[in-house]
Amino acid sequence: MTLTRTTCPYCGVGCGVLAGADGTIKGDPEHPANFGRLCSKGSALGETIDLEGRLLAPQVGGKDSDWDTALSLMAEKFGAAIRDHGPDSVAFYVSGQLLTEDYYIANKLIKGFMGTANIDTNSRLCMASSVAGHKRAFGTDTVPGTYRDLEEADLIVLVGSNLAWCHPVLHQRIAAAKEARPDMRVVNVDPRKTATSDLADTHLRIVPDGDIALFNGLLAHLAETGALNRAYIDSHVNGFDAALAQAQQTNPLDSGLTEAELDEFYRLWSGTQKVVTVYSQGVNQSGCGTDKVNAILNCHLATGRIGTPGCGPFSVTGQPNAMGGREVGGMANMLANHLDIENPDHRAAVQGFWQSPVMAPQPGLKAVDMFRACADGRIKALWVISTNPAVSLPDADGVAQAIANVPFVAVSDIMARTDTGDLAHVLLPATGWGEKDGTVTNSERRISRQRAFLPAPGQARPDWKIMCDLAGKMGWSEGFDFETPAQVFAEYVALSAATTDFARDLDLSLFADADYAALIPTQWPANDKRFFADGKFYHADGKAKMLPITAPAPRAAGDFTLNTGRNRDQWHTMTRSGKSPRLGAHLAEPYAEIHPDDAAALTVTEGDLIALQTPTKTAVLRALITDRTAKGQLFAPMHWTRQQSSAGWINALAAPVVDPVSGQPASKMNRVTATKFNAA
Ligand code: SF4
């Protein structure tokens, strides 16, 4: 069996995979993300590539159709909406599952030809707060960390990150490094005790959103104990005094930790030079997510713990190509090549390169706002690509109603039935993992190829091709006459070269003459350059910026705080991972973790059902009684959809509260009541 060298389609670790058409799956020993390792999800990929449930032909009005009919109707509806209601009456909602080439074409089409930036992505739910925090501190969205830094650190602080389940191969790498270097210390900061806490030397059980009190307290401690790097601050950082003054106003006990826990952590952090602080959704998915990011970055900047091996802040991305999407301007407030849509020079440069008729003049609607605009009638034509917002966004039932309210909805997917696809007027069959070619970028900025090892089934087409075909139907053949993803990638690299005057960190010159077919996993920037090693940042004066961060008021006691997240063995709405019996055996049904004292107060015993309620919604879930979840808190997985579980789609209960800076939903901070469910 010939094995094809490709990349895992699940998490942002971006592991290399050797895959065969017979379902053979092996870890790629030569891929620098995993060196042959795979987690449970990656190992089971061979069980997910069958055609059961696949969408194999375009559908119009629920009936099988053909590409010409479906795309002609789409062109007519999108064209009419733009003509009659203006460019901002159309929108695309896309996915971190898309390959970089797909993302590039989607953004070119809507921003440069339709004339609106109403394109956002489910990556808004994943790392938007980190993007915003990086831009505030560094002047651009630069992730300075690498996986090797984790192995070289003397202290790893994992904040709001269940790496063991959500980035398992990275967790394996840390475990191996810790075994080889017994002096390495790992601290896990999380309101919930997780599989990641089990590896850590210390689990710091903060209260939800207690992160800012913890890191503001650390900054104040560093100042009090003379552990700041004054020379670094003077040369490379603005805003220190205001940031410190605000930190000194914070009571670190508001983190929920004891004085002894705080003292031990602060002394460990300040006494260790090589510190990496890893953070993900527990930080990002919060109403103060961007502030949490900057509270962490402040501590690294105030001590110069950035830009050197084994040192620095490191936001790990949830999705396989969240990073690639960022690179090509995959969100409503970005342009390709890390340029800013709000900057007229950047807009002009990109429009000039694209030779496009228009350019979106301002940022578009972010995810939650986009579906509000669907609900109130502003959006007349919507294209959802490779994602399932009718169950994955907060207020999922409201989002489903909002989509149903849009006069014309197209959905591209690999599956014939999804909660969102069921609301579409036109369904477009896309090729899936194993059938399409392109590139993805992982959490450490390493660009890898995904390669096809299976034929495209039925009439399925790659996403970039579907978008180009629609552009052709709308009269924009020129600019979208690509025949291969290699040509799309080459244009993206050329755009990078054409905008180097503006692009402040995204250096793709190493790909200029790359052989796309043979592309090996390659990290940018070139030549092992380490970001910020020279103390230069991307604000106009070359300095980084520390921000004064206000800790949120402690939450009032009362209802439960519902935290949602991933299981070890499932991926998002289980479109693919749900096909694997092996993965399904891990945790087979929706559940809610509840503390034993809370369960006792509700007279709930193991196996009972509990009803979680907001004023308008209820979810009924199996109780999983465990002290891994703190008193007053609940945890429920996000994977089950309306189609899979009659009462378990948890995002129906999530309020559409977002971080005011990043627009990222606060998915870990929902207010619910809980009662024992009486089936009778
Ligand atoms: Fe795939 Fe992530 Fe597992 Fe690697 S760690 S095999 S990328 S799911």
CA distances from 656 to 211, 366, 670 (A): 21, 12, 9
Number of H helices, E strands in the chain: 23, 28
Q: Which of 523, 548, 581 is the last residue of a domain?
A: 523
Q: Which of 505, 523, 541 is the last residue of a domain?
A: 523
Residues 246 and 151 in one domain: yes
pLDDT in tens, 296-353: 999 999 999 999 999 999 999 878 888 888 888 888 988 988 899 999 999 999 999 9
Residues 630 and 507 in one domain: no
Does the residue 539 lie in any domain?
A: no
Compute the mean pLDDT over every residue in the chain, rounded to the nearest whole number. Answer: 94
Query: Could you give the number of structural domains in the chain?
Result: 4
| Ligand 1 centroid from CA 143, angstroms | 20
3-class state of residue 612 by DSSP: strand
Residues 338 and 429 in one domain: yes
Give yes or no for a contact between 37 and 15, defined as CB atoms under 8 angstroms apart. Answer: yes
Residues 112 and 161 in one domain: no
Q: Which of 292, 316, 340 is the last residue of a domain?
A: 316
Name the residue with the closest Cα to ligand 1, atom 3: 39
Does the residue 137 lie in any domain?
A: yes
CATH number of the domain residue 27 falls in? 2.20.25.90
CATH number of the domain residue 311 falls in? 3.40.228.10
Ramachandran angles phi, psi of 375, nearest 5°: -65, -35
Task: Give yes or no for residue 83 having a pLDDT over 70.
Answer: yes
Q: Apex CA 123: angle with CA 117 and CA 126, to 5°?
A: 140
pLDDT in tens, 619-663: 999 999 999 999 999 999 988 877 776 666 788 888 899 999 999
For position 389, what pLDDT does the model report? Answer: 95
Per-residue buried b or exposed e for 450-482, using 16+ beta carbons within 10 Å of the residue's own CB: bbbbbebbebbbbbbbbbbbbbbbbebeebbeb
| Ligand 1 centroid from CA 43, angstroms | 9
| Ligand 1 centroid from CA 311, angstroms | 24
Q: Which neighbouring-strand residues pair with 54?
A: 415
Of 138-152, 168-182, 496-510, 607-621, the least confident: 496-510
Does the residue 542 lie in any domain?
A: no
Kindly report the pTM of this predicted structure. Answer: 0.95
Does the residue 552 lie in any domain?
A: no
Task: Give yes or no for residue 199 having a pLDDT over 90.
Answer: yes
Residues having CB closer than 6 A to ligand 1 are 8, 10-11, 13-15, 34, 38-39, 41-42, 167-169
Residues 261 and 338 in one domain: no
Sole residue written with tokens 């159709």: 65
ipTM above 0.85, yes or no: yes
Does the residue 458 lie in any domain?
A: yes
Residues 122 and 141 in one domain: no
Indicate which atom in ligand 1 lies nearest the CA of residue 10.
8
Does the residue 536 lie in any domain?
A: no
Does the residue 416 lie in any domain?
A: yes
Q: Which neighbouring-strand residues pair with 185?
A: 155
Task: Give yes or no for residue 680 having a pLDDT over 60.
Answer: no
Residues 115 and 140 in one domain: no
Between CA 419 and CA 150 the distance in angstroms is: 39
Does the residue 547 lie in any domain?
A: no
CATH number of the domain residue 590 falls in? 2.40.40.20
For position 474, what pLDDT does the model report? Answer: 98
| Ligand 1 centroid from CA 13, angstroms | 6
Task: Give yes or no for residue 607 having a pLDDT over 90.
Answer: no
3-class state of residue 94 by DSSP: strand
307: exposed, middle or buried (C-beta count within 10 Å: 0-12, 13-18, 19+)?
buried
DSSP state of 523: E
Residues 399 and 474 in one domain: yes
Q: Which neighbouring-strand residues pair with 156?
A: 186, 276
Question: Domain limits at 611?
Answer: 560-676
